[in-house]
Amino acid sequence: MPASHSYRDLLETNHWIRKNSDKFYWQCTTRTVQESKLFPVNPYIAMSYLNAWYRWPELLRKIDAAMPAEEIGDRAREVSSYVNVLTAGIIPDFYLGGRQILMDMGMLKATDAIDDVMFVLDFAKRLNLSYKRADHHVLAQDNGERQQLHPERVTQVFEADALGTKPGDKLHTAVHRFLATVSQYAFLKDCECRLGIGNSGPYKVGDAEMLVRDFHNLGEGDLPWLDGVADEIPFNNLTLPVIMKDTHFNILDDWGSFEATPAYSHDNMVAVGLYTSDYLSEGYLPVHMDNHGELADYLDHLRDKMSHATSELWKRMAGWTRDQMIDAGLLVYYGVVRDMAHFAGVYDQEEWFTVEDRAQRFKPLFNDEYGGHLIGELVGYISLRSQQGSEYHMSRFSGAPGDMWSTIPYSVLSDDEWTSGVGPIRGGSTSLPPKTGKYTTTRGKLTQDEVNAAVRGFTPATVAPHLRGLDDTWVKHHPEDPRADELYKATQQNSITLKDAGAGLVRADIAALREKAGRNA
């Protein structure tokens, strides 16, 4: 019997598969090195792909039923969270990675689980289109390697509130030291990967450019190994808008990594801010930004707390077995979509921090040698047999006859055999100790049930039904509409400089308000 999808649906899905295949190849071969002296990174990456293959279809359907992907994208665009350019952009790749591994092992055909594949990829596309609505691009490559997520009303607040600084002053030194410490801590807590570090932008600020730097999952929260280690870190997410002179960010890709011309130099930083936010906050909340000295002192204080947490985390991880290291790493990778469950109010720790029984079967295969070769062939060389196409084919970036992810054959629309999905989750387990602590949020530390209940009862003002569809294009054509003023004031409610300023401001107004408020260096 033919599959129930239309020809158009399949055409669009295969286009989306190839688009992500090209994008992920470029990233994997130009943007990163996947190795660690502590963690078996490639084995845990491969295992994470398999766990995603078996679990994501059911979990994403659960999320989508509670809150559609488009609404999650709209809410995530208003704050900094683990739904970001990196995690949203790699949903297709982690999921299709599991599919490709199983196809190459001969355990799947390209016509298997097509309803699951169609749904997961559609969820990812809807989420990314909504989340990136401000620039109307779904991938950074569509936008000249830019990630301009924020509408004018948000970037105005970031510029207006930023505290001026220059090399050698107290704030400048504090920011430099803090960024080094928080980056090291964020890298370690995610098992020596950079999934908790993100950047967006650049945004033009006069002759300068603004890079918005984000750090996620810093406090006690989803990661069970931070219980008792991060108890003195008060924020789960931190955002630092950094305004840079004489610097052009020519690449800011779908992994949130960047390149600049000339190379990024901290000496070119001229202003900075610090905010926290999450799925329970009304936008971005300033953190100790009343004046230059207060912010500098707080960054030094927070740096000390993170240095201590890093030391304690090293001690904890040093006692882990190889199996525990694999479990932790694979659950970080597999869990890149877990904040979507938080936004929807359906988060369940058990679902996101156990390994599916069907995925567990493969763990004995993934020693360092096999795991390393498999990932190398899968996302680097594109040399697996299942990835090869016609001898006449030339893939986009490598010119090779193979592509990373296999498309769905159109024969399923006629007489070919196909299967619908992988079925329900069949249980799971982990070698790691269970989570015991609460979850750090902008409303304090809450239990899982309290977090879910709070989210289900919360609608941010900027995504209220009468404001949700009002983007920069609408504001441009309706500057006198009272709803424009209401939308801007909702964004400005926590701003130190722009509170209740409303719509209609231009950059000259921002500069005057900054001067009056003493925000310059």
Judge whether 119 and 68 are in contact, CB under 8 Å.
Answer: no
- Specify whether the CB–CB gap between 493 and 283 falls below 8 A: yes
Amino acid at 291: N
416, amino acid identity = D
* Angle, vertex CA 205, rays to CA 510 and CA 281, nearest 5: 70
For position 32, what pLDDT does the model report? 62
In this structure, are residues 245 and 264 in contact, taking their beta carbons and an 8 Å threshold? no
Interhelix angle for 91-104 vs 114-131, to 10°? 160
The pLDDT assigned to 165 comes to: 97
DSSP class of residue 367 equals: -
CA angle 95, 99, 104 (to 5 degrees): 145
Complete DSSP assignment for 37-74: SSS-HHHHHHHHHHHHHHHHHHHHHHHHHHS-HHHHHH
Q: What is residue 398's predicted lDDT score, i.e. its pLDDT?
A: 85
The per-residue DSSP string of 423-479 comes to -S---EE-SSPPP-S-EEEBTEEE-HHHHHHHHHT---GGGSTTTTT--HHHHHH-T
Residue 260: beta bridge partners?
249
Which are the contacts of 263, defined by CB distance < 8 A and separation ≥ 6? none
Whether 21 and 308 have beta carbons less than 8 Å apart is answered as no
What string of DSSP letters covers 322-340?
Answer: HHHHHHHHHHHHHGGGHHH
CA nearest 149: which of 217, 68, 92, 89? 89
CA dihedral for 501, 505, 507, 513, sign (positive or negative) = negative
CA dist., res. 453 & res. 450, Å (int): 5
Start-to-end Cα distance in the chain: 70
- Token pair of 204 as six digits: 């033009």
Tokens 């239309």 correspond to 6
Beta bridge partners, 244, equal 209, 269
The label of the residue with tokens 């947490």 reads 309
pLDDT of residue 2: 87
pLDDT tens for each residue of the chain, 521 residues long = 888 999 999 999 999 999 999 999 988 888 766 667 789 999 999 999 999 999 999 999 999 999 999 999 999 999 999 999 999 999 999 999 999 999 999 999 999 999 999 999 999 999 999 999 999 999 988 988 999 999 999 999 999 999 999 999 999 999 999 999 999 999 999 999 989 999 999 999 999 999 999 999 999 999 999 999 999 999 999 999 999 999 999 999 999 899 999 999 999 999 999 999 999 999 999 999 999 999 999 999 999 999 999 999 999 999 999 999 999 999 999 999 999 999 999 999 999 999 999 999 999 999 999 999 999 999 989 999 999 999 999 888 888 899 999 999 999 999 899 999 999 999 999 999 999 999 999 999 999 999 999 999 999 999 999 999 999 999 999 989 999 999 999 999 999 999 999 999 999 999 999 999 999 98
Q: Select from 36, 52, 46 the least CA-distant residue to 335.
A: 52
Residue 370 belongs to what H/E stretch?
Answer: helix 368-376
pLDDT of residue 67: 98
Strands (E), 124-247: 163-164, 197-205, 208-215, 238-244
